[in-house]
A and B are shown apart, each in its own frame.
Chain A
Amino acid sequence: MSALLVRAEGLGKSYPKVYRSRDRLRALGRLLLNGANPDSIGVLRDIDLEVRRGESLGLIGENGAGKSTLLKLITGVLTPSTGRVTVNGEIGALLELGAGFHPEYTGRDNVAMSAALHGLGAAQLRERLPQIIEFADIGQYIDEPVKHYSSGMIVRLGFAVVAALKPDLLITDEVLAVGDESFQKKCVKWMQDYLEGGGTLLLVSHSMYHIQKLCRRACWLRGGEIVMQGDVFDVTQAYLAYHEKKSAPAVSSDTNVTAGLEFSVSAVELNGQDSQIPLMLQWGDAVRVTTRIRSRDGRTPSLAIGIVRVDGTPVYGVTTDMDGTAPMRVSDHEYACELEFEALALLPGSYTVRVHSMDPEGVRLFDTVERTFVVRGTSRESGLVRLPHRWKGAHAVDGAA
């Protein structure tokens, strides 16, 4: 195990509730007397985090989850309210768009100021200035006041300074999103080289693509607390599944009324497992959907089975009627049927199987039962399914992911 670079123990941050001027005076009195500040709103609670040298950690979470606050605590911009954080190395941080840049001064002046803030001496700055200007690649604008810059140019300049510093720990907070495609690529390339050279990265991004490309570990924050921490693919998938679920329209799953239905779904098993807990699968595993249908008047029902992603995007649906089959009769009012998908081509993510009971003609839909399964894996392919494919006129490259 390599050396510990960042260690946060029980880290928390809360802001005092200050509504009126009188509250400020009271807060001052309290701080001077005993240092305590009880009336406060917590934004971050009990964060335990370790980052080792050479690691790359992605921070993900919704807006307001406390990601930026955590980064600011680590960089020392903010002071923790509880717990403590120790950093054993130089930090290069790109926290906010144009933070620390003075709008009236030129890019060149601001680079000098920024470099000085990062502890760079005058001689070192002179030596690295051409390199910074070249990396930023904003042409004549370097001698213009920063207030005339576009947001993309500000990020270019900011990143160029940090890149020239070659810090032990690089911290960036969703600033890449502002840069254009070519600059983003340049930054990602630089970060990859930096990581290969033993650098340590702490990245906040809403782009799971960037997180998965650059980070090996991820940490998911929600409401100021760590929900999940670990392998980047596990965490990002869980996070995406959470979002898919959140944005999916609420499905009414009222089962009390099913008894009176002409055809109701009485049981559904996925690979022999009958529970609401999602079934875990690997890519290419087989899935068997075993169902039982109650028929009130004993007629043979038909059955529809579909797979949708958790956000409701349909992937595939089929009925017994379409395939010219019908459920088998097991008793007077019970029918059973099993559908098998061998070697499921679905890409990693969360999916729902929906089983619908229908009338014998396959026209009216009576009942719906859902089961969830999760395809785990580290594939970086995008989309829903892996389509069979082959590259032609290409050759294998070493180290391809």
Chain B
Amino acid sequence: MLSGALIRRFVTRELRNRFAGSLWGGFWALFQPLLQLAIMSFVFVRVFSARVPGLDAGGYAPFLAVALWPWTAFADGVLRATTSIQENAALIGKVAIPRELLVLSSVAASFLIHIAGFIAVVLVLAVASTGVHLAGLLPALLLYIPLAALVAGLALVCASLQVFVRDLAQALAQLLPLMLYCAPVFYDRMQVPPNYRWLFDLNPFTFYAETFRAILLGHGTFDGGRLLVACVVALGVLLVGHVLFRRLKPHFEDFL
């Protein structure tokens, strides 16, 4: 039932839904991140004069950008997929449809949009010669694979719970920014007192923020062991999500 044609259709539909009715459509997917990059460079670098130890004045924009775009994919992926079952209530209970598809196509659409934005931002940063290694782009894109698996797992958990407890999406909208500020995205781990640095390892996004920087900026070192742990965590979360979703999906129609 989960045929290639069906998956393609759903992801395309999801992408079209996100830009439905907008005049420029997919153009926004590329334009928005670049505009955002310009605004952030101005606000953080010129207004706040934000600095990270070991980087010069111009270094903050790429430092923030290469970690913030993966975060956007993460947060947007989880948040949108959480309501994906609820929003497609019209389909569930009317047509025979693999229900995972609704969640996974939502995650896929988020990632496709934000990876495109990520590529655009990295290319612009490289052209502006801000110290971004263009050779790191391909490994960086590969790093999106465990990130996507992690998000898919979280999305399956959240989407199935959201059907029963509608407060979840509200709570997530508050919790995700908190998680962002508790990860070394806007700052560096080295900027906090040494006693508390280990706490960052509890945040699953810390690894991704730091590894994207290591790959693209050479800031910090790439650690193969941590990559392995991240992959295991991602697969574990995906497995939990799969099991929970399978347990709850027969009852979705009763609670929608």
Contacts and interface: CB of A to CB of B under 8 A. Distances in A.
B6 interface: yes
Interface residues of B, number: 29
Given A21-B166, A24-B164, A113-B13, A91 B254 contact: no
A100 B6 contact: no
Contact of B97 (A35, A37, A117, A125): A117
B253 A79 contact: yes
A102 interface: yes
A78 B247 contact: no
B10 to A, nearest CB: 8
Nearest to A118: B96
Interface string B64-108: 000000000000000000000000001111111100000000000
A105 B9 CA distance: 13
A275 B57 CA distance: 104
A277 to B, nearest CB: 43
Contacts of B91: 100
A141 B164 CA distance: 39
A119 B3 CA distance: 7
Contact of B94 (A31, A99, A105): A99
Contacts of B97: 100, 117
Interface size class of A (residues with CB under 8 A): 35 or more
B164 A25 contact: yes
B3 A79 contact: no
A377 B255 CA distance: 47
A117 to B, nearest CB: 6
B251 A31 contact: yes
Nearest to B21: A104
B96 A31 contact: no
A120 B5 contact: yes
B229 interface: no
Contact of B95 (A79, A95, A112): A95
Contacts of B124: none
Interface in B8-27: 8-9, 13, 20
A76 interface: yes
A119 B253 contact: no
A121 B5 CA distance: 6
B161 A117 contact: no
Given A100-B91, A104-B20, A117 B165 contact: no
B248 interface: yes
B69 to A, nearest CB: 29
A37 B248 CA distance: 12
Interface in A51-93: 72, 75-79, 91, 93
A341 interface: no
B163 to A, nearest CB: 9
A95 B94 CA distance: 7
B165 A25 contact: yes
Nearest to B96: A76
Contacts of A100: 91, 94-95, 97
Interface string A125-160: 100000000000000000000000000000000000
14 contacts: A15-B254, A16-B254, A18-B254, A21-B165, A21-B166, A31-B247, A31-B248, A72-B93, A99-B95, A100-B94, A100-B95, A113-B13, A121-B4, A121-B5
- The 8 A-B pairs with the shortest beta carbon distances in the complex, nearest first, are A99-B94, A79-B250, A28-B164, A100-B95, A116-B9, A116-B6, A76-B96, A24-B164
Given A77-B92, A117-B6, 7 more contacts: A15-B254, A16-B251, A18-B254, A24-B164, A28-B161, A95-B95, A100-B91
